[in-house]
Amino acid sequence: MKICCIGAGYVGGPTMAMIATKCPDIDVTVVDINAERIAAWNSEALPIFEKGLDELVIAARGQNLFFSTNVDQSIDEADIVFISVNTPTKTYGTGAGKASDLKYIELCARKIAEVSTTDKIVVEKSTLPVRTASTIKRILKNCPSEAQFEVLSNPEFLAEGTAIKDLQEPDRVLIGGDQTPEGLAAIQTLFDIYARWVSPDRILTTNVWSSELSKLTANAFLAQRISSINAISALCEATEANVDEVARAVGSDSRIGPKFLKSSVGFGGSCFQKDVLNLVYLCEHYGLTEVAQYWEQVILMNNYQRKRFVQRMVTTLFNTVAGKKIAVLGFAFKKDTNDTRESAAIYICRDLLDEQAEIHIYDPKVSHKQICADLGIPEGHPGVHIHSSASDACANAHAVAVLTEWDEFTELDFQSIFDNMLKPSFIFDGRNILDLEALRKIGFETHAVGKV
Ligand code: NAD
Ligand code: UGA
């Protein structure tokens, strides 16, 4: 059996590395139109940082795992084609700012129709609006060779930073397909691949529409929990309650559970905002105004949380940060990844620059080039300095803001950081990871999310 995956990104690369590892008898080729990315997958320095990924790729690459720009041939030779391309928020035309931009998906479907000479199972791995499979099917019907296709939905639930663990031991694998003999056979083929390492009771099968919608719903529920606890963090700051204590008490109810109740500067990442906005757009499309408004509030609360954090910094720093040196610790959207897409740090740094602060950034994994690209500034911009250690970034600073929860930030030598800062020395913990009492003993004035 041969598998082709279109899209060598955060999902395509790790997911296919796992399938290749678990199924040595299956040839897996990951293709992309981005030649630079494919070259990186074939090099020593993989294009994404994910714990355990290097080992998997190095062991399987050249055996049964291949990275290639030869899209047409790899599709034609495959029995199963995964579509794992990006589905960003549309920035133009109808639905701009909310709907998913499906142009890359459509291009993939057209390419599969154009080059296929044999029957295939086509798997939607990308996160898609419900009913996208019907569009893909219509395009595939126009295949000149008259090859037959079954379209499955198999959304990915991995989180960045824990991708390999999530792929190795998923809470569930979801496969949606047509409830016809051909559709059920295709579901069984994909089921048998996952069943090589995932317990069958964790492989859920549904119709296509339920599978597509479950992915958007899962992300919306996760994002909603973060916005819910962040909303409460504002009330905690007003009332001297402590958001971590509230989260612990609330999360101890087994019906609620403790996960995803960590108050923060707001969620980031390439998917939560895009997928919730897509859900909002779909609800509006189907005339479900109240449902759309309900989910939109999750995004509005996240925007509010980021703004609120900057406002608190400005107010605390005597109502101005103009010309002040602010050390920013962490730029990635979460720890253990070099991904910065939609990172709260981007929005917070931009707001600080608007306030004319001088920002000094340190992140253990994000490159100088990436930070400047995200902030939309040239390298060498006088207001932004990138450092290779936290202590360098903090030297002579008026204030420190922790924006990513990297473990190393909890182990810094805060006494020496304090000694090298201007006084009074402020610290703003946007991730609630620091021992505030210890910091206060050193002499810092501390501020954290949802705590007075
Ligand atoms: P990504 O941007 O990292 O990778 C997508 C890749 O597809 C890019 O390298 C791009 O060059 C390639 N591509 C685009 N059009 C192509 C075409 N026509 N032919 C060949 N290659 C093409 O995206 P990602 O983060 O891997 O996300 C992919 C999908 O998976 C999205 O729908 C996303 O919502 C979903 N998803 C992402 C995550 C995550 O953690 N990043 C988790 C679950 C689901
Ligand atoms: C998320 C989901 O967790 C995955 O299941 C899903 O597959 C993926 O989106 C996707 O569809 O792309 P990811 O965005 O990689 O994964 O990372 P998360 O761990 O969910 O974190 C998202 C953001 O929420 C981060 O900025 C994180 O710091 C923040 N967060 C998370 C909080 O602020 N508080 C929490 O309690 C948890």
Per-residue pLDDT of the chain in tens (452 residues, 90 and over written 9)? 999 999 999 999 999 999 999 999 999 999 999 999 999 999 999 999 899 999 999 999 999 999 999 999 999 999 999 999 999 999 999 999 999 999 999 999 999 999 999 999 999 999 999 999 999 999 999 999 989 999 999 999 999 999 999 999 999 999 999 999 999 999 999 999 999 999 999 999 999 999 999 999 999 999 999 999 999 999 999 999 999 999 999 999 999 999 999 999 999 999 999 999 999 999 999 999 999 999 999 999 999 999 999 999 999 999 999 999 999 999 999 999 999 999 999 999 999 999 999 999 999 999 999 999 999 999 999 999 999 999 999 999 999 999 999 999 999 999 999 999 999 999 999 999 999 999 999 999 999 999 98
User: Cβ–Cβ contacts within 10 Å for residue 191, how many?
Assistant: 20
Q: Looking at residue 233, what is its pLDDT?
A: 98
* Beta carbon of 162 within 6 Å of any ligand 2 atom: no
* Beta carbon of 32 within 6 Å of any ligand 1 atom: yes
Choosing from 271, 283, 349, 394, the catalytic residue is: 271
Q: Looking at residue 199, what is its pLDDT?
A: 98
Pair type for strands 203-206 and 173-176: parallel
Q: Looking at residue 123, what is its pLDDT?
A: 98
Crossing angle of helices 208-239 and 243-251, rounded to 10°: 140
CA distance 185 to 152: 11
* Beta carbon of 364 within 6 Å of any ligand 2 atom: no
Q: Looking at residue 349, what is its pLDDT?
A: 98
Cα 269 to ligand 1 centre (Å): 13
CA distance 444 to 426: 6
- Scanning 23-85, the segments in alpha helix (DSSP H) are 35-41, 53-60, 71-77
Cα 444 to ligand 1 centre (Å): 43
Q: Looking at residue 165, what is its pLDDT?
A: 98
Ligand nearest to the CA of 334: 2
Q: Looking at residue 315, what is its pLDDT?
A: 98
The pair of three-digit structure tokens given for residue 312, joined into one six-digit string: 């608190």
The pair of three-digit structure tokens given for residue 32, joined into one six-digit string: 């992309």
Checking 280-283 for CB contacts under 8 A at 24+ apart, the result is: 280/98, 281/95, 281/98, 281/99, 281/100, 281/129, 282/129, 282/130, 282/216
- The question of whether 271 is a catalytic residue gets the answer yes
* Beta carbon of 156 within 6 Å of any ligand 1 atom: yes
Ligand nearest to the CA of 265: 2
Q: Looking at residue 213, what is its pLDDT?
A: 98
* Beta carbon of 87 within 6 Å of any ligand 1 atom: yes
Cα 334 to ligand 2 centre (Å): 8
What single letter denotes the amino acid at residue 382? P
